[in-house]
Amino acid sequence: MIRTPSLLLRRFSVEDVAKVFLMSREPGLQEWIPDQVYEDEQQAAKVLRYLIEKYEDPGDPRLAALVVGICLQATSELIGHVGLSPLQGEVEIGYAIEASHQGRGFASEAVAAMCAFGLEGLGLARILGIVHKDNIASCRVLEKAGLVLVREEAGTLHGRGGFVRRYEKARPSCGGR
Ligand SMILES: CC(C)(COP(=O)(O)OP(=O)(O)OC[C@H]1O[C@@H](n2cnc3c(N)ncnc32)[C@H](O)[C@@H]1OP(=O)(O)O)[C@@H](O)C(=O)NCCC(=O)NCCS
């Protein structure tokens, strides 16, 4: 469990399934991460069970996704997710915030906290943020969370073509900025 000034990042439980399904159907996910849009609650439950299993085995984002729920500290309401996942020998950060709670700095707060956990808590050397250039809010989140733009090139991400940006944040002792 990770606390930030406004948020609580906590493990998912099977009781979260209805909300996780609803959040997956929002327009922002349909547009930017359509592979995380679920057909029905059964599919959401299957993904949730997989994520819950991975907390213990292997419990290491270099090997399998480590994704937690983002909750408001004030009310405990689940409003999104943030996670670290393996990507070609590296670790990538992913995130989403429910539309009704966007624009209040919550994604930036959650991403910064998750990066600190990965770099300092888990001892990762580096965390990547891979994002479409046109996903302006997401690019801004990475920048506000202290990731640095290192590359931008034509490519495909989540089935969508365009310019893809690679951001990075390294552990200070590993030559990070
Ligand atoms: C990307 C996402 C997580 C941002 O969540 P959020 O809680 O609103 O993010 P924050 O409030 O921390 O920061 C958003 C920043 O983007 C800015 N922003 C948002 N839309 C913008 C736009 N169209 N043009 C310019 N800036 C924009 C906001 O002003 C804010 O920056 P600021 O604090 O400097 O003003 C949310 O939009 C989302 O869930 N999108 C769908 C899923 C997704 O794209 N995930 C990332 C995949 S790589």
Q: What is the pLDDT of residues 8-38, one digit of tens each?
A: 999 999 999 999 999 999 999 999 999 999 9
Q: Is 33 helix (H, G, I), strand (E, B) or coil?
A: coil
CA of residue 28 to ligand 1 center, whole Å: 10
Residue nearest to atom 38 of ligand 1 (CA): 96
CA of residue 56 to ligand 1 center, whole Å: 31
| CA pair distance 98, 79, nearest whole angstrom | 5
Residue nearest to atom 25 of ligand 1 (CA): 136
What is the pLDDT at residue 175? Answer: 54
pTM for the predicted model, two decimal places: 0.96
Residues whose beta carbon lies within 6 Å of some atom of ligand 1: 28-29, 32-33, 95-97, 102-108, 131, 135-138, 140-141
- In what helix (H) or strand (E) does residue 47 lie, and over which residues does it extend? helix 41-56
Residue 13: count of CB within 10 angstroms of its CB:
11
Residue nearest to atom 41 of ligand 1 (CA): 28
Residue 60 DSSP class: -
Calculate the alpha carbon distances from 47 to 77, 97, 101, 153 in Å.
20, 18, 23, 31
Q: How many domains does the chain have?
A: 1
- Structural domain of residue 30, as residue ranges? 2-174
What is the pLDDT at residue 133? Answer: 97
CATH (domain of 158): 3.40.630.30
What is the pLDDT at residue 172? Answer: 81
Taking 70 as the pLDDT cut, the residues of the chain under it are: 174-177
| CA pair distance 146, 112, nearest whole angstrom | 7
Concatenated DSSP letters for 96-130? EE-GGGTTSSHHHHHHHHHHHIIIIIS--SEEEEE
CA of residue 18 to ligand 1 center, whole Å: 24
CA of residue 99 to ligand 1 center, whole Å: 10
